[in-house]
Amino acid sequence: MFDPKAEAMSLDERAALQRHRLWGLVDRLLAADGVQGRRLKDAGVGGGSDVTLAGLPNLPFTTKQDLWDHYPFGMLAVPRDQVAAVHGSSGTRGRPTLVAYTKADLDLWAAMCARSLSCAGASPGSIVHNAYGYGLFTGGIGIHQGAVALGATVVPMSGGMTDRQVRMLADLRADVLTCTPAYALRLGEALADAGAEPTALKSGLFGAEPWTEELRAAIENVLPIKAMDIYGLSEVIGPGVATECLEQDGLHVNEDHFIVETVDPSTGEPVKDGTPGELVFTAPTKQALPLLRYRTGDIASLTRGECPCGRTLVRMSKVLGRADDMLVVRGVNVYPSEVERVLLGSGLVRPHYQLVVDRRSPATRLLVACEALSGNPRNELVHALHESLGLTAEVFVLPGGTVPRVEVGKAVRVVTWEDGAAPLPGLA
C-alpha cells in the first residue's frame, strides 16, 4: 500500500475523519457563498456542525449542469490566483466540463494515483508505460504524476503511434501498462504482429471507459498481465478515485478523500449496498472545486468489508454504464456493457465490436457489428443476446479489421445512424 494508515484505517476512525472533513467542506462552501453554499443555506444548514454523515443524503445534489451554468470559473471556492491548473472532459457530449486545481489539489491527485499504481503491484523502481492521452484529459497527467509520487519510472507515451509504443515496451521493459482497455487490446495485437514478447509486463491499470469481466479475459489473453480497473472523473479529481487491487474483486474507493453514495438514478433516493445505483461523490479535501454530493451518472454498486489485500476501504463494482447511455430498443432497456458481456462471453468473436442504433425509421433497430474468430456465428449471437438480455438485435459478422480499433482516446462503442451511408461497411 502507498498509504497503509489511510487505506487500512478502522471503520470508526475513518468515519470520524470523514465527519470532520465534511464539516470543514460545508463551512468553506458557506463562506464562498457560491451556488453550493446558497443551496446549503436554503436547506437550513448554518454551519458544518449542523451536518452528519447519516444526514448526508438530506443535503442538495450538485450536477454537471451546475458546472456548465457557471463555466468556466463560477464555482471556484478559492481566489482565482490560487488556481494552478485546469483539466476537464473532452466535450464528447457537445460541451467541455472544466475543473480547476490548486497546488494542494495536484498533490492530492498525485497521491491518489500513486495509491492506484500500488494497488496494481507497482512500487518504487517500477517502470510505468503510460499510454493514456495527455492534455486537458486527466488520464495521462494524473497517472504520470502518480508514478513520480510513487518513485517509479514513467514512460510518457500518450496515445497513438502504436508501432513506437511496441518498441518502447520491448526496449524499456515496463512492468506496468496504463491506458484505456480498448487500447490495451490494440497494443496486445500489435505486439503479437511484431513478434514482440513483453515478458517484463506484470499488470495493467485500464480505465476511462466501462469494461466487463469478459473484456478483462480478452486483455489477459493478449497480454501477459493481470488487468485492473481504475475509476475517476475530472469533476471529482481524475483517475485515482477508486482502483482494483490484485485480488480483482471490486475497486477500492479512497473514501478518506471521497465520500461515496449510491442513489436511484430516477428518484435520487439512497439504494442499499449491493444494489446498482448512480454513484454520488463528495470531495471534502478538494480546494479549488470541492463538490458536495456530485451526481456522476455512472451506475455501480458498493460492497463493504475488508479485502484480502488488507484494505478496509469500501469497494465499488465495475461501472455497469452511464444512466444517460442506456439504450431503449423496442421497450428493452440495456447498457452497452451488457451487450459486451454476452458477445465476448460467447467465445465466438474477437474483442472488437460496435453497436449501431438505427433511427432512420420510427421503429428503432439495434445493429451489432462484430468480427468472428471463425465461421459465421450470427444466429448463435442473436439467440444469446435474446436469451440473456431479452433483446432483439440484428447481428452483422464483418470481415476482420472492419470494426475500428482505438489509437487515441476512448473506444466509440455506440454510434447512431439517422441518415446517409452506413457508419460501417457491410450494414444494411
Rounded distance between C-alpha atoms, residue 49 and residue 30, angstroms: 12
Residue 389 has φ and ψ, to the nearest 5°, of -115, -5
What's residue 364's pLDDT?
87
| Domains, the chain | 1-323 (3.40.50.12780), 326-417 (3.30.300.30)
Across 57-65, average pLDDT: 97
The tens digit of pLDDT for each residue in 323-343 reads 888 888 877 888 899 999 999
**pLDDT of residue 346 exceeding 80:** yes
What's residue 410's pLDDT?
84
Across 300-313, average pLDDT: 96
Q: Cell match 433511427: residue?
A: 359
The pLDDT > 90 percentage for the chain reads: 90
Residues in CB range of 204: below 8 A, 6 or more apart = 120, 176, 177, 178, 179, 184, 219, 223, 225, 226, 227, 228
**pLDDT of residue 407 exceeding 90:** no
Decide if 323 contacts 297 (C-beta within 8 A): yes
Q: Cell match 475500428: residue?
A: 404
Q: What is the pTM of this model?
A: 0.90
Helix, strand or coil, per DSSP, at residue 156: strand
**pLDDT of residue 92 exceeding 70:** no
Decide if 362 contacts 390 (C-beta within 8 A): no
